[in-house]
Amino acid sequence: MTNRHLVLGAVLIGVGDANGAGLWRHPDVPATASIDIDWYIKQAREAEEAKFDFVFVVDSQYIDAGFPPHHLNRLEPLTLLSAVAVSTERIGLVATVSTTYSEPWDIARRVASLDLISRGRAAWNIVTSQDPGTAGNFSRSEHGDYATRYRRASESVDVVTGLWNSYEDDAFSTDKSAERFLDPAKQHRLDHVGEFFSVTGPLNVQRSPQGQPVLIQAGTSDDGRNLSAEVAEIVFSFEPTVEAAAQLKADILKRSEKYNRDPDDLLFVPGLSVFIRDTDEEAQQALDAAHDTYPTDRLLSQIKRIFGDRSFADFDLDAPFPDIDPTTPESLSGAAALAARARENGWTLRQTLRSMIDHWAWFVGSPVTVADEIERWYRSGAVDGFNLFVQDPSDWYRFRTKVVPILVERGVARADYSSDTLRGHLGLDVPANRYAVARTSNP
């Protein structure tokens, strides 16, 4: 394995995602942040200055009035990141694209285009889309169950990566005195026929300096873990403790043996939020105050979405968590786990709602305390890095200017880039073109 540093990603969420729904009120955040390309470019450049590996743009294709502010009015990821690509030089660019509501040819072409525009800095965050309501925006009567959507996702990734192999690296002439622009023997049709897709190919986009975009997968259901084991190069998760992160990593690596994956080819990068002040006490007090003012109606809207549009508004907030089936087809993947935690801990509905504010890793304290916790998780081997949610601008500033230098001094984070591509940052090999390999193996 290449000698890797801590992987650092930055999730850009404009005016506030589910756990930062009040961010739009912050005096230093433009009310138009989620549609302001200059705001995204500014944050990407700040992340690049701190030598982050990538910026990460999430997406969804269904909303109602109860969704978080950032969901209601935001830019499409690939369009956004194409603009960021020409305004940055080294930082990776992660775009979320759904396999359920996009065709493989379209995914392959659009993400490969970003990879060329950025000269090898693109990654695809593979999702199957959570919200059942999305079906209605794509002329469909149903969303499909988990098993079906993940089978489709697996086949979609297979087709997309196959299309990314359409051209061998020297298929096009770089010599203007050559007789032809293309060597046709080095252009390849795919001719895929499967359960969900029939795609001929070839793709009309060549490979980038990193060969093909990096593959990221975030599902942690049983089907999601299988997909990560099969195709992911980065596993994005929301594990709240180092023990849970270690268990997830061990489970997915065990599953990956079925696909003959090299364990060094899978990186585990959970989500992270931070609250940073001069002292631990000040940070904890600030976090408690923020939690106390978090609007209950926003949490009720959030849990309604998780439980497949089932309203909790009529339940007593201080009574035990209601006996509601979390396994309906409309419920999201986190519903069953949330209900199980509530019942196991004997939480009231109010306590359950409060737990939703920080259900992934939150590191709270002074810069040294936050750096200590990052180093502890990293050196334990449970994670390869963190995907930081960029929320309060002051926390974002303190993380970049105070926490990262501590990690650099300790030899955990990089002091500077040593590569121009995202694969180079991550220590991942450039995938060889499958047809060139076959020609070399069997001339």
**Model pLDDT for residues 265-295, shown as the tens digit of each residue:** 999 999 999 999 999 999 999 888 877 777 7
Beta bridge partners of 124: 95, 215
Q: What percent of the chain has pLDDT over 90?
A: 77
Q: Mean pLDDT across the stretch 178-194?
A: 95
Listed range (42-56, 136-150, 247-261, 421-435) with the worst mean pLDDT:
136-150
Which residues neighbour 235 within 8 Å (Cβ) at sequence distance 6 or greater? 216, 217, 218, 228, 248, 249, 252, 266, 267, 268, 269
Q: Is the pLDDT of residue 2 over 70?
A: no
**Distance separating alpha carbons of residues 345 and 202, to the nearest angstrom:** 54
Cβ-contact 130, 218 below 8 angstroms: no
**Distance separating alpha carbons of residues 165 and 156, to the nearest angstrom:** 14
Residue 135 backbone zone (phi > 0: left; psi -120 to 50: alpha; other: beta)? alpha
Q: pLDDT tens-digit profile of 319-343?
A: 999 998 888 877 776 788 888 888 8
Q: What are phi and psi of 329, to 5 degrees?
A: -60, -25
**pLDDT given at position 1:** 40
Q: pLDDT tens-digit profile of 366-412?
A: 999 999 999 999 999 999 999 999 999 999 999 999 999 999 999 99
Which residues neighbour 278 within 8 Å (Cβ) at sequence distance 6 or greater? 366
**Distance separating alpha carbons of residues 102 and 81, to the nearest angstrom:** 18
Q: Is the pLDDT of residue 109 over 90?
A: yes
Single pTM value for the model: 0.92
- Record the tokens describing residue 106, joined without a space: 């379209």
Cis link prior to 202 (omega < 30° from 0)? Answer: yes
**Distance separating alpha carbons of residues 75 and 70, to the nearest angstrom:** 10
**pLDDT given at position 356:** 79
What is the bridge-based pairing of β-strands 234-237 and 214-217? parallel
Cβ-contact 245, 212 below 8 angstroms: no
Please identify which residue in the block is written with the tokens 């023997």: 185
∠ CA(53), CA(55), CA(58), 5° rounding? 140
